[in-house]
Structure formats: C-alpha cells, structure tokens
Amino acid sequence: MKQLQPLWNIWKSRGGRLLVGLLLAELSVCAVFLLMGQTGSRLGLIAVGGVAAFGILRFAGASRIILRYLERLATHDATFRVLADIRLWFYRGLAKGAAAGLGFRRSGDLLSRLVADVQSLDSFYLRILVPLATALLSLCIVLGICLKGSVLLAFSIGIIFCLVAFALPTLMAKISYRWGPELQRTQAEMNNQALDLVGGMRELRIFGQEDAATERFLTAEDVFYTAQRRQGRAMAHVHALSLLLTRLGVVFALAGCTGFFFPKEQAVMGITILFVVMTALDNIVDLPRAGLLFGRIRHAAERVVEATIVPNGTPGEGTEPAPNGHEIEGKNITFGWLPGKTVLHNVNFRIREGERAALIGPSGAGKSSLAALLLKVVAPKKGSITLGGHDIASIQTEALRSKVAWLSQSSHLFDDTVRSNLLLGRDGISEDAIWAALEQAQIADFVRSLPDGLDSWIGENGSHISGGQGRRIALARVLLSDAPVLILDEPGSGLDMETERAFLATLNQLDRSRTILLITHRLTGVEQLDHLWTIQDGTLISHSL
C-alpha cells in the first residue's frame, strides 16, 4: 500500500472539502437514527397509552431530507475536484517519465486501459470511504443505544455489525484483489482473440479458418466468464451471509425486547432499540460489495502509480538553457534498448548547421534509436552527443526538444481541429506561418477545400481524413515549429509516390538555416543531401555523394 502514497497526497490536498462531505454524511446518518428511533419510541408510547410529542420526529424527518441533499452535493463536488487533480497529476507524471519513450513503442491499448483505471479511482471516496466512515459512526450510536438495554445485547449486536460492516468487506476486498489479475488476464485474452478474429478477417476467409478462429474466441470468452462466475458466486455467498447476519441481529434485538435471551427491556425502550438496530443493519448490508470494489480500485491505483514512475535509464532533466548554435555531433555512441544487446556500436557523426543528412537502413537497424538519443528519450551507454557544442545531457530536456522537432512514424493526430493539431497549445503563431507550413507539406489546397478550413474537425486519430492527408498534417506540424533541427522519420510512409517526391522536393527549398535529418528505408532520388549514411550491424557507414 505504501506505493500509493502519491495518490494519498492528492486526496490530502483536498482534505477540507472531503471532510465537509464526510461530516455532512455523518450528520445525515444521525438524522436517520433520530428519525427511526423517534418513530419507534412514539409508536411505543402511544400504543401503551402515553402522551407523545412529535416535534423531534418532524425535525428529524426534515433534517434528514435536507442533510442528505447537502451531503450529495458536497461529496460529489469534492469527488470532481479530486478527479481533476488525479488526471492532471497522472498526465504530468506520464509526461515526465514514460511518455517520451512511448513515442517509440506502440502502446495505445495499454494507455486506454490506464485511463480506464484512472476513472475507476473516482468511486473510492463516494462508495468506499464515506460509507465506511458512516458505518463507524452508526456502530457507536447503535452501541450507545443498546447499552441502555443490556451489555450482552450491545455486545452481540456489535459483533454482528462489525462482521457485516468490516470483516466481510475486508474478506471481499481480499478475494477480489487476489482474483483481479486472473480476471484481467482472461479478459485481455478474449479481447486479443477478438482483435485477431476481426483484424484477420481477410486471412481467415481466404484460408477457410473462420470457424476455427470463432471457436478460439468463444473458448476465450468461456474462460473469462468462468473466472467471472467464480467471483460472482463468491459475491453472492458473501452477500447471503451478510443478509443472514443482519437478520440474526434483528432477531437478537427482538429477543432482547421479548426477554427470551436477554434481560427484558422496558417495552418502549425495547421497540426503540429494535428500530435503531434495524436501520443500522439495513444501511450496512451492501458494504461487502464496496469491498469488492476496493479490491479492484487497489489494482487500478497500483497500475496508475506504476505508470507514472520514471523508468530507469531515462536521461536526467539537465539545467542549462538551449545553446544558440545547432551543430550536432555524436562521439563514440554505443547504445542498446535491452541490456546485453547493442543496436549502435561506437557511432560517430557530425551534422553542421543547415546540412541535410539521410540515414538509410532496414527496419530494426537502429535508425529510430538514433532519433531517440537525439531527443533525450534515452541516454547512450557510452559516448556523448553535443548540440551547438554543449553536451545534451546537461541541457534542459524541454528546451532541447524545442530545438529538435521530430516527425515520428506514429505521430498522433488529436480529435480536434486542424488548427489545434498544428499548434499543439502554442500561441502567437500567425495565420500566414500556418498556411506556409501547410503549403510546404502539400496539404494547403486540401485544408482550403474543407468547409471550415483550419477549424475543421479531423476526428479521432484523423478518422475524417485519409491516412496520407493525416500524415501531411503531422508534417506541417513539425515544419511549423521554430525548431532549427528537424528529424523526419519515414516522412513518405502513407503517401503515394508522387506526393512523397513533391514533399521531399519542397524540403530542398526550405530555409538553409534548418538542419534536416531524414530517416528512411529508401531514397526517391529528389533529395539533395550533404551526407548519406547507412546503418549496418550497428555501425554507421558514410557514402560519398
């Protein structure tokens, strides 16, 4: 539980509001007890012919209604605030550590799952903390009232209450925590089979394997449901047990009234105790379910916190501002993603300001690793890289990245307008500059033809536009940044041959103060280059032009 400290800190920072919500919840519970206790005692009183006043009863009813309303408002408001805090914290944590590396891995699904985990943290306060806290207060009230009858009664009701409100939920939390990974694994297996089944529909049809694949998918479904059923059954048993225990509690209270097992109470007192006990037990009967939720939330919280931990080998932040020059030099760089496997071995290179270089090699040869090194996503095992004569390890990461713009193979297009996709939160960029970048990326005509121009929505990951168009918008985004160094990783992928050539030709006309490093698996012939390198077996080979 210790690793969940960062989450606790967020909760703590909203402590005041959370406490107010909790306090209102407690008061509202007091009002219920007053209401039910009064109902019992008033009924008892008039039944035995006494004279009863109903002021407190009316007051209790009215305050219950009002307090419950206020409680809902306060707890929800606090929850929303914490929720926003958690998301922001998660976003910042991810941005600081793991995010840069994600650009070099495909992990969209993993991230979606994490976002779902963040969302499931919502219910911790509303559905676990508040009910538990009110249960604790209820226990005190019930014990206090029962003690007016007899110690034995208070003792047995207290035990039943603790079993239902605390022991069973803990048990359920343990069970769901233990079974959680199994459930998640089987569900992931089912999802993978579904992806295979749908994504591979062409292959399955051509090779006549649709039935076999369907069967595999349905088997995975069955395994998942078996695991789910097992937890469902455990839940049903625990729920039945908690129902049984609460009934037993009522029987005890009743026995107390009738004098079967306990010293007989005074009739009116007895009926009051009974009403209070019944109310208390009714309120806690669903707490075991909250236990189930707790197990799930604990897993989610652990995954979320883990995702924000900065992985080992992430280069340090650095303190120096970005230098003025932007000549790039790599000296004796050795690097590998995994220990024992080097991708680059003793690599040396130099790109002067404004030079154009191309790096060619088959996939997996280490081309993108070089980009990762230049952007300080990873640090070289040996050797160093300098920008404008300064070691990039000592330059502030954010400042470095404003100097080196990168077009990755998987540049993300946001579910937003063309304009926001180009600007990514920057301001102070003129309309002319935007159109110039679009022109260079060969997409200006298309954007002009859209009904809303720059303010057209491009859909989730650019779903409203074609792959090639999306690619060119990502290109324009890189061209628009004022970074003097551009790293273009396979800029032609997704473009047809003609567009690719036209784009590469515009690169030639780009301001000669900008350095361009082209990473690609083949040249088209229109590139005007100062350097041509290939990577083979981890070493860089320079070719004459």
Q: Which two tokens stand for residue 251?
A: 């029987």
Residue 258 or residue 542: which is nearer to other proteins going by CB? Answer: 258
CB of 320 to other proteins, least distance (A): 15
Sign of the alpha-carbon torsion through 240, 243, 248, 254: negative
Pairing relationship of beta strands 356-360 and 515-520 according to DSSP bridges: parallel
Options 460, 502, 542, 543; binder of other proteins; rule CB under 8 A: 460
Residue 95 or residue 545: which is nearer to other proteins going by CB? Answer: 95
Residue 170 or residue 258: which is nearer to other proteins going by CB? Answer: 258
State the burial class of residue 344 (Cβ atoms within 10 Å of its Cβ: 0-12, 13-18, 19+).
Answer: buried
**Cα(520)–Cα(505) distance, integer angstroms:** 15
**Region 490-509 residues binding other proteins, contact defined as CB under 8 A:** 496-498
Sign of the alpha-carbon torsion through 319, 324, 328, 331: negative
**Cα(307)–Cα(531) distance, integer angstroms:** 40
Angstrom distances, CA of residue 518 to CA of 38, 355, 356, 523, 527: 81, 11, 8, 10, 10
Distant-in-sequence, close-in-space partners of 348: CB < 8 Å, separation ≥ 6: 330, 331, 332, 333, 540
CB of 1 to other proteins, least distance (A): 25
Angstrom distances, CA of residue 205 to CA of 199, 201, 211, 214: 11, 6, 10, 12
Q: Mask 297-336, x = binds other proteins (CB under 8 A)? A: ----------------------------------------
**Region 386-445 residues binding other proteins, contact defined as CB under 8 A:** 398-399, 401-402, 405-406, 408, 411-416, 424-426
**Cα(481)–Cα(395) distance, integer angstroms:** 19
Stretch near other proteins under the rule CB under 8 A, chosen from 43-51, 141-149, 334-342, 445-453: 43-51
* Total of residues contacting other proteins (CB under 8 A): 131
Does residue 271 interact with other proteins by CB under 8 A? yes
CB of 334 to other proteins, least distance (A): 22
Angstrom distances, CA of residue 293 to CA of 12, 122, 134, 170, 288: 21, 11, 18, 11, 9
Options 132, 159, 197, 429; binder of other proteins; rule CB under 8 A: 197
Sign of the alpha-carbon torsion through 155, 156, 161, 163: positive
Distant-in-sequence, close-in-space partners of 212: CB < 8 Å, separation ≥ 6: none
Helix axes 210-258, 151-162, angle to 10 degrees: 170
Residue 46 or residue 541: which is nearer to other proteins going by CB? Answer: 46
Residue 102 or residue 352: which is nearer to other proteins going by CB? Answer: 102
Q: Which of 154, 132, 150, 152 is nearest to 141 (CA)?
A: 154
**Region 509-538 residues binding other proteins, contact defined as CB under 8 A:** 521-522
Options 25, 153, 377, 516; binder of other proteins; rule CB under 8 A: 377
Residue 299 or residue 403: which is nearer to other proteins going by CB? Answer: 403
**Region 2-41 residues binding other proteins, contact defined as CB under 8 A:** 35, 39
Stretch near other proteins under the rule CB under 8 A, chosen from 2-10, 69-77, 141-149, 350-358: 69-77
Stretch near other proteins under the rule CB under 8 A, chosen from 68-76, 151-159, 298-306, 507-515: 68-76
Options 186, 193, 272, 308; binder of other proteins; rule CB under 8 A: 193
The conformational region for residue 49 under phi > 0 = left, psi -120 to 50 = alpha, else beta, is left
Options 19, 170, 282, 455; binder of other proteins; rule CB under 8 A: 282
Q: Which of 479, 424, 482, 434 is nearest to 454 (CA)?
A: 434
**Cα(68)–Cα(65) distance, integer angstroms:** 5
CB of 377 to other proteins, least distance (A): 8
Does residue 194 interact with other proteins by CB under 8 A? yes
Chain centre to alpha carbon of residue 167: 31
CB of 201 to other proteins, least distance (A): 4
Q: Which two tokens stand for residue 168?
A: 């069973």
**Among the residues of 417-485, which ranges form H helices?**
418-423, 431-440, 444-449, 467-480
Does residue 210 interact with other proteins by CB under 8 A? yes
Q: Which of 132, 162, 138, 158 is nearest to 293 (CA)?
A: 132
CB of 463 to other proteins, least distance (A): 8
**Region 70-129 residues binding other proteins, contact defined as CB under 8 A:** 72-73, 76-77, 80-81, 83-84, 87-88, 90-92, 94-95, 99-104, 108, 111-112, 114-115, 119
Options 141, 257, 343, 370; binder of other proteins; rule CB under 8 A: 257
CB of 151 to other proteins, least distance (A): 22
Options 23, 136, 140, 251; binder of other proteins; rule CB under 8 A: 251
Does residue 205 interact with other proteins by CB under 8 A? yes
State the burial class of residue 495 (Cβ atoms within 10 Å of its Cβ: 0-12, 13-18, 19+).
Answer: buried
333 within 8 A of 385, measured Cβ to Cβ: yes
CB of 153 to other proteins, least distance (A): 15
Does residue 267 interact with other proteins by CB under 8 A? yes
Options 18, 22, 64, 390; binder of other proteins; rule CB under 8 A: 64
Options 153, 375, 392, 438; binder of other proteins; rule CB under 8 A: 375
**Region 468-487 residues binding other proteins, contact defined as CB under 8 A:** 468, 477, 481
**Region 217-246 residues binding other proteins, contact defined as CB under 8 A:** 217, 221, 225, 228-229, 232-233, 235-237, 239-240, 243-244
Enclosing H/E stretch for 407: strand 404-407
Angstrom distances, CA of residue 477 to CA of 355, 405, 422, 445: 21, 9, 5, 16
CB of 136 to other proteins, least distance (A): 23
CB of 445 to other proteins, least distance (A): 16
